[in-house]
Amino acid sequence: MRSLLSALAIMTIAAPALAQSRLLAEGFADLNDRLSPAVVNIATSQRVEGVDDLPRFPPGSPMERLNSDGAAQVTSLGSGFIISADGVVVTNNHVIEAADAIEVILQNGQRFEATVVGRDPATDIAVLRMNVRNPLPYVQMADSDTARVGDIVLAIGNPFGLGGSLSVGVVSARNRNIDAGRYDDFIQTDAAINRGNSGGPLFNTDGEVIGVNTAIVSPTGGSVGVGFATPTSIVRPVVDQILRYGEIRRGWLGVRLANLNSAAAERAGYRGDGGAVVTRVTPDGPAASAGLRPGDIVLKFNNRDVTDSRSLTRMVGEAQVGTSAPLEIVRDGRRMTLTATIERLEEAEGASRAASGEESNEPRRDGGPRGGRIFGVALSELDPSLREEFQIEPDVEGLVVLSIDIDSANENVLRPGDVIEQIGFQKTDTMITARAIAGEAAVGEHAVVVRINREGQRTFRRLRARS
C-alpha cells in the first residue's frame, strides 16, 4: 500500500514536468497557431515640431516625411494583445504615449485605428480599443503568482518591426526590482525580447498570459537573455480599473517606508522576518488617523503578509479607495492591529497642494513646463504625487529623474527616483532654470557635473552633454 501511494505521489509531482517535456519534444507550433491571432502589432505616429534646421529632401524620397513647415512625422512600433472579442487591447504605456495616431495590425494584415481607453504610467500599462464589427480572437490573463522559476514561457510580439515572432525561454526569476518605479515586481525571463516586443504577452504553456513584456537589460540594445515582464498580478487590477473608470484610482496611506533592518527591528522589539518600517507619517493622513507612528513595523496589510516596503506600497496602491484596511504592526515588542481608511492618491495630492496655497488646476507661477528632457534624461518638477511615488522627503528640492533613454550615454549614470539638486554647481528646481544652466554648462563641454540626491544620500555625477 505504501509503495502504491509513493508511486501515485511521484506521478502527481511529475505530471507538470512531463507535460512541459512533451511540449519541448513536440515544439510549440500548435500553441503558436492558437495564440498568435490574438497578438497584435501597434504602429504609432507623432508630429514633432521645431525641426526647421533639418535639410530638405526631394519629393518622392524616403525622407520626404519631413514636412516643409518644419515638422516631422515620427513613427514607432510595438506589440499588444487582445483580451476581449470586441477589440480591447493591452500594451505598454511607453508604446503609445504622446502618439497622435495609433494603428493596430492583426496577424492577418487587417488594420484598425485604435483609441486610448486609459493608461497608467506608474505601471507602464495602457488599454486601447479598436472599432471592430466582427468578434476577434482573444487571450486570457492567468494568475502570475502561480508561475515558478524554471517554468517554460513564450514571448510573441513584433521585434524590430519584423512582424509576429515567437521566442521560447523560462522564468529566470520572480519579484525582480529594476528601479523602474515604485511598483517594480517583474518576471525575469531569458526568452528573446527585443525592441518592438514591448507591450506583447508572455505566455505560460497553457496559453495564458502571465506578463506583459516591458524591458530588457542589454549593452547592445538587443536581447542578451535578460528580459522583464510586468506580471498579471499587477496588470489585471490596472486594466480592470481602466475599463471600469477610464482611469486609475490608486490607494493612499500617507506614510514613508523603509525595509526592515536589525536596528529598526531591535527598537521595535521584533525578532521575525519580513515587514516594512514606518519612517514618516503624513499629518491628517489615513495612517495618522489610524494611529500609526514612525518606528512601527507593518507585518500585514489587509490580511496579506508584508515582505518589504515595496510589497506594502503595491498593496496600498491596489487597495480600493474608501475601504477600511487592517494593519498588523509591532510596536514596543507588542503586536497590535490598527484600521486605516484608504484615500485616493490624486485627491491626497490635491489636498496637499491646497494646504500649501497652490491650486492643483492652475499652471505653475513661473509659467514653465512641469517636465522635459535634458541630455537623454526625462525630468519632472516635484509635486506631492511624485514625492509619494519615489518616497522623496519634503525638504528635498530639485528635479526628479523619470527615465533615461536606452541609448543615452547617461543610461548607467542615473536611475528613476534620483533628484537632481544642482547642475553645474547651480541650484535648480524648475525646468526653465535647468535648461538655462544646462545650456550654458554644455557650451564647449562634453560633460556637466550634477549633484543628485539618491534615497537621502547626496553625491556628484558627470552627465555626458554630447554623445
Q: Where are the domains of the chain?
A: 251-347, 368-464
**Which one of 40-54, 93-107, 138-152, 210-224 scores highest in mean pLDDT?**
138-152
Q: Is 94 a catalytic residue?
A: yes
User: Coil, strand, or helix at residue 23?
Assistant: helix
CA distance 384 to 81: 34
What number is the average pLDDT over the span 410-425? 83
Question: Who's near 11: CB < 8 A, 6+ residues apart?
Answer: none
Catalytic pick among 76, 94, 167, 352: 94
Position of cell 540594445? 221
Residue in 238, 244, 197 with CA at minimum distance from that of residue 221 = 197
**Fold identical between 251-347 and 368-464?**
yes
110-114, 265-269, 293-297: segment of lowest average pLDDT: 265-269
pLDDT digits (tens, 9 = 90+) for 367-403: 333 677 787 788 888 887 788 778 888 889 999 988 7
Catalytic pick among 79, 198, 385, 408: 198
Q: Which residues are annotated as a binding site for substrate?
A: 94, 124, 196-198
215-224, 251-260, 430-439: segment of lowest average pLDDT: 215-224
The cell numbers describing 102, all together, are 495609433
Expressed in angstroms, the distance from the first to the final Cα of the chain is: 73
pLDDT digits (tens, 9 = 90+) for 250-287: 899 998 888 887 877 888 888 888 898 888 888 889 99
Given a contact cutoff of 8 angstroms between Cβ atoms, the answer to whether 346 and 361 are in contact is no
CA distance 393 to 395: 6
Q: Is 446 a catalytic residue?
A: no
188 pLDDT above the threshold of 90: yes
**Single-letter code of the amino acid located at 362:** E
Q: What is the pLDDT of residue 446?
A: 61
DSSP state of 133: S
User: Coil, strand, or helix at residue 466?
Assistant: coil
Catalytic pick among 76, 79, 120, 124: 124
Q: Is domain 368-464 classified as CATH 1.10.3720.10?
A: no
What number is the average pLDDT over the span 305-324? 90
How many percent of the chain have pLDDT more than 70?
76
Q: Which residues are annotated as a binding site?
A: 94, 124, 196-198
Q: What is the pLDDT of residue 342?
A: 95
Given a contact cutoff of 8 angstroms between Cβ atoms, the answer to whether 57 and 66 are in contact is yes
Strand 334-341 and strand 343-344: the pairing is: unpaired
Q: What is the pLDDT of residue 74?
A: 53
CATH architecture for segment(s) 251-347: Roll (2.30)
C-alpha separations of 22 from 16, 146, 169, 202 in Å: 10, 20, 15, 20
What number is the average pLDDT over the span 426-431? 83
Q: Is 198 a catalytic residue?
A: yes
User: Coil, strand, or helix at residue 173?
Assistant: strand
How many Cβ atoms are within 10 Å of 154's Cβ, its own excluded? 21
Q: What is the pLDDT of residue 2?
A: 53
DSSP letter string over 236-265? Answer: HHHHHHHHHHSS---EE--EEEEE--HHHH
When the pLDDT of each residue in the chain is averaged and rounded to a whole number, the result is 79
CA distance 301 to 295: 16
